[in-house]
Amino acid sequence: MQAAGSMSETPSSEALAAAAGPVPPEVSILVPVFNEAATLGPVLSDLLAFVEAAGRSRYEIIVIDDGSTDGSRAIAEAFVPRLRVESHERNCGYGAALVTGGRAARGQYLAFFDADGQHTPAHLQAVLSRRADGEMVVGARRFAGEPLWRRLGRRAVHRLAGHVVRRAIPDLNSGLRVVERHKFLQFAPLYPRGFSLTTTLTLAFFQRGYSVAYVPIDVQPRKCGRSRVRLLSDGWRTLGVVVRLGRRLLAREGRAAAADCNRCAAS
């Protein structure tokens, strides 16, 4: 017989949840920033409105300030605690910022979202809605008023990369994408510190046989400021990534073919 006052009660679901700690978000939205003071405030306001309308428990926003010198970090910190801020004391590069954000994230999925105002929460929602279609979902950009020479150059790089991995690649290096966090971090040692991270990530996914889906999105030119992407130098780096991966794939296929020959000879 139990003594009075010693009777135990089954804990409520609320008590169990509190004991387990806060439930991690489903999606961590990563916003890498380097000197985007002109656009950052409105971009973060729009993202927060989107998150709060969809349910704050499902999302977290992480701004990664990559050594900005124009006050971008202070703009981001003004939104705390509605979002989190990670920072580099010096400029380390777009790729390094995304890796920092990915390691700090708590969500099962990572969503990349640029701070230059070219993407909107509606674009993000379009990509998020297709998560079931691939282990990574990419917003395939369609640029209004893009010069012909730039469009042709972009198309040539995409075709070369598609030839290397034997897949159609509508957009090789879009900065708007959703990817499973553990798969993104799996390739962290391969990522360059600069803008070629997205190229490397795309090709690494195809090389490993992971599924990639694409969602067409219409983006507008930057409203202010200037792009950090340098067409010649960053274009050559992108080509270099494609060529190096192509060599790696050929070497792997050569080793597989040699192993098959050896097995046949042994039998």
Who wins on pLDDT, 13 or 109?
109
Closest listed residue to residue 131, CA positions, set 179, 174, 166, 98: 179
Structure tokens at 206: 């195809």
Spatial separation of the C-alpha atoms in residues 266 and 200, rounded to whole Å: 38
DSSP H or E run through 71: none
- pLDDT value at residue 195: 83
pTM exceeding 0.85: no
Q: Check residue 8 and give its pLDDT.
A: 46
Lowest mean pLDDT segment, chosen from 70-74, 151-155, 173-177 = 151-155
Across 69-73, 117-121, 229-233, the highest mean pLDDT is recorded for 69-73
State pLDDT tens for residues 42-55.
999 999 999 999 98
pLDDT at 203: 86
Q: Which of 58-67, 139-148, 155-164, 200-209 is predicted least confidently?
A: 155-164
* Span 155-184, average pLDDT: 81
Alpha carbons 248 and 256: distance in angstroms, whole number: 12
Give exposure, 17-50, as e/b (b: 16+ Cβ within 10 Å). Answer: eeeeeeeebbbbbbbbbbbbbbbbeebbebbbeb
Q: 184: closest CA among 101, 66, 65? A: 101
Q: Which of 168, 201, 5, 17 is nearest to 98 (CA)?
A: 201
Tens digit of each residue's pLDDT (9 = 90 or more) over 17-46: 444 457 899 999 999 999 999 999 999 999
Cβ neighbours, 10 Å, residue 129: 12
Domains of the chain (ranges; CATH) run 23-266 (3.90.550.10)
How many angstroms separate the CA atoms of 88 and 117, rounded? 22
Neighbours of 147 (CB within 10 A): 9
Query: What integer pLDDT is reported at residue 256 of this predicted model?
Result: 44
Fill in the amino acid letter for 135: E
Query: What's the pLDDT tens digit per position in 77-109?
Result: 999 999 999 999 999 999 999 999 999 999 999
Q: What is the pLDDT of residue 254?
A: 40
> pLDDT band for position 250 (50/70/90)?
very low
Residue 215 dihedral angles phi and psi, to the nearest 5° = -125, 120
Band of pLDDT at residue 192, cut at 50, 70 and 90: confident
Query: 120-152 pLDDT, tens per residue?
Result: 999 999 999 999 999 999 999 886 665 555 665
